[in-house]
Chain A
Amino acid sequence: MNFASQKQRRPVENVVPLINIVFLLLIFFMLAGSLRPVEPFAVELPKAAGEREPAERGAEGSVLFVAANGELALDGQRLDEAALLAALAARSGDGSLQLRADARVPARRFLPLLGRLRDAGVAELELVVADDR
């Protein structure tokens, strides 16, 4: 029997269904998932039944992370509150900010922060929650 000649014709053809499936998976993940911003620390979003989808954020200085222990990070960069307020006051844009805060942040940390954000020129705040509907 002459196996060698058969082997030479076959290998490339067998890969095509594999590529089909992989492409299918690729397209599935591209369409069904959503890219999430890189988190500088673990943030467990509060669960609530919100109605709006959070806006896509591409601009700089537009996503503020608040960790459970009160640590802050703007766009993945950790900073303290003074640096944060300075960065927010210096940025140009529509004054909107997306807030990704941990569900365990106590109110004594969270509410005063809101007031200071407003003073730093943040006009519109969006609190991101995990939709639990």
Chain B
Amino acid sequence: MRFEPSSRKRRRPTLTPLIDVVFLLLVFFMLATSFGSEASLRLQVGAPTAASRLPGDTGDTGNGSDAAPDAKRETIRITLSADGRIRVNGESVREGEVSGAILRALADERERPVRVLADDASPLQAIATVLAALERAGAEDVGLALATPTEAHE
């Protein structure tokens, strides 16, 4: 150890503890921060969402034959299969084209009912993809439910 004369030591406060603390903070922020940006999707839990069966679902591909008040509006049916594939009104859609397909199906009628029928084993990734596309398209009436086996293989 080297002891300096005390008069010299006094002139400038030692910076070492400060540096220690700042390094500690630096390491903390480096480890605790995440740079991948996150977003959120709203899940409408109050509405028919997550109900086991939906009144608008008659098992057909949505020709609006049910007796609902706005029966003239075609229900858009989106089915998710076990391997994560997405079909809009029966047509198979690739992941990158879900948004476009939903926009076309909605055809500027935001209040058109949309029913998402998920296979038992379909991953949340497929649900999130569809919900994000629906949210961007501005769909207002979205129902989300498990598909019965017959619906899943339509």
Contacts and interface: CB of A to CB of B under 8 A. Distances in A.
B41 A48 contact: yes
Nearest to B95: A47
A127 B43 contact: yes
A6 interface: no
Contacts of A98: 40
B131 A107 contact: no
Interface string A46-90: 111111111100000000000000000000000000000000000
Given A54-B38, A125-B42, A8 B146 contact: no
B43 A126 contact: yes
A36 B33 contact: yes
A52 B39 contact: yes
Q: For the complex, would chain B's binding face be called helix, strand, loop or mixed by DSSP majority?
A: mixed
A26 B45 contact: no
A12 interface: yes
A19 B26 contact: no
A50 B119 CA distance: 23
Contacts of B136: 49, 51
Interface string A87-110: 000000000001101111111101
A98 B45 CA distance: 13
Contacts of A52: 39-42
Contacts of B18: 19
B123 to A, nearest CB: 5
Interface stretch (B48-56, B60-68, B86-94): B48-56
Contact of B40 (A32, A47, A107, A127): A127
Given A52-B39, A53-B40, A104-B124, 4 more contacts: A19-B15, A51-B136, A98-B40, A107-B119
Interface of B: 4, 8, 12, 14-15, 18-19, 22-23, 25-26, 29-30, 32-43, 45-46, 49-52, 80, 99, 118-125, 127-129, 131-132, 135-136, 144-146
